[in-house]
Amino acid sequence: MSDFDFYWNYRIVNTKSKNGGEDWYCIQEVTYYDGKPDGYGDPCLGSEDMETFGDVWHMMKEAMELPPLQEEDFPPQGEM
């Protein structure tokens, strides 16, 4: 087992900086380091085949069930 925990998922992030300080909710790929949001970037909406593309769709649907993250939830480097 490693000394740190790194993973990613899809989340909705309020990226106000992209909209002149006003709310702008985007689905993003969010990376986590030791359980804390570490960075985000535009999601990849592809997959090797149609069966695993269903997994991508399911992960994005799960993002709708979680509260949106705010840009302030990430360390200063922000986007990946």
Position 14, amino acid: N
Sign of CA dihedral 20, 24, 75, 40: negative
pLDDT higher than 70, residue 22: yes
pLDDT higher than 50, residue 1: no
**Which of 13, 50, 18, 17 minimizes the C-alpha distance to 30?**
13
Mean pLDDT of 34-38: 94
The residue extents of the domains of the chain are: 6-70
Average confidence score pLDDT of the chain: 90
Residue 80 binned pLDDT confidence (cut-offs 50, 70, 90): low
How many Å is the Cα radius of gyration of the chain? 13
